[in-house]
Amino acid sequence: MARSAGRHRRPRRGLSLPAAAGAAAVTVALAGSLSMATAGASGPAPGSSLALDTPARPATTGQAADAGVFDGLESAAQSLVDVTTTASSSTHSSIRAEEVKKKKQRERRLAAQRAAREAAERERLARLYTKPLSSYRVSAQYGVRGWAWSRGYHTGLDLTAAYGTPVKAVHSGKVTVAGWDGAYGYKVEITHSDGTQTWYAHMSRLAVSGGSVSTGQTIGHVGSTGNSYGNHLHLEVHAPGGGELNPYTWLQDKGVTL
């Protein structure tokens, strides 16, 4: 029996056409996958077939996006600086205004305390010092110049009052002179504890002759004796050293306003 032709032929080496086609397809798929992975990591390789299917994003687009991001960050940072500066300035202004307010309140409080102390001192002095007359009119101030006064100026303070009005000691002290004294007429001189002297002149009559007197005590009565041109009290104040003082301001310093 004859053998079939080619039954025992040596088999061909290599891939069949279908197998080759499948292998090629796998190769292309693997190459595409590799190209896509490479493109995702660092962009498509030069000459890669992937460039035909998936165009690479231009580099300028990424740079523009980065620039936009940095511009946004810079703008946000500047806005934060502006807000912080404004807030700091506002806070500083508020603190400054509060300090000014507290300073004014402290000054007003100190001024009120000072006024209260001065008022208390005037009240205390008012109990120690008093007006020499209860009813009067200031007719000649200290220092006024004119021919009517022997020294060419007025050495005291004249208080015009009705004849016989009681004259009071403005402050306590010791009577060092009580009697007639030439141009002064009837006069009383009181020396106070600090050495200051008060003189009361032109009185019609005296109520003391010596000793100590207290504030407000009657020492005589208004008249017009000596070098006088009408009923009035001539009041002089002399410092411990002998110099003349303005009776008006001296009494004012003691809390007594004539």
Query: pLDDT tens string for the chain (258 positions)?
Result: 444 444 444 545 544 444 444 444 434 444 444 344 444 444 444 444 444 444 555 555 555 556 666 667 777 777 777 777 777 777 888 888 888 989 999 999 999 999 998 888 777 777 899 999 999 999 888 877 655 655 657 788 999 999 999 999 999 999 999 999 999 999 999 999 999 999 999 999 999 999 999 999 999 999 999 989 899 999 999 999 888 999 999 999 888 988
Enter the pTM of the model.
0.55
Domain ranges across the chain? 65-128, 137-253
State the catalytic residues.
232
- At residue 225, the pLDDT reads 96
Q: pLDDT value at position 29?
A: 42
Angle at 221 between CA 218 and CA 222, to 5 degrees: 135
Q: Which class in CATH covers the domain with range 137-253?
A: mainly beta
- pLDDT at 79 (0 to 100): 75
Q: How far apart are CA 1 and CA 168, in angstroms?
A: 183
Mapping DSSP onto H, E and C, the string for the chain reads CCCCCCCCCCCCCCCCHHHHHHHHHHHHHHHHHHHHHHHHHHCCCCCCCHHHHCCCCCHHHHHHHHHHHHHHHHHHHHHHHHHHHHHHHHHHHHHHHHHHHHHHHHHHHHHHHHHHHHHHHHHHHHHHECCCCCCCEEEECCCCECCCCCCCECCCEEEECCCCCEEECCECEEEEEEEECHHHCEEEEEECCCCCEEEEEEEEEECCCCCEECCCCEEEEEECCCCCCCCEEEEEEECCCCCEECHHHHHHHCCCCC
State both tokens at 189: 């001189």
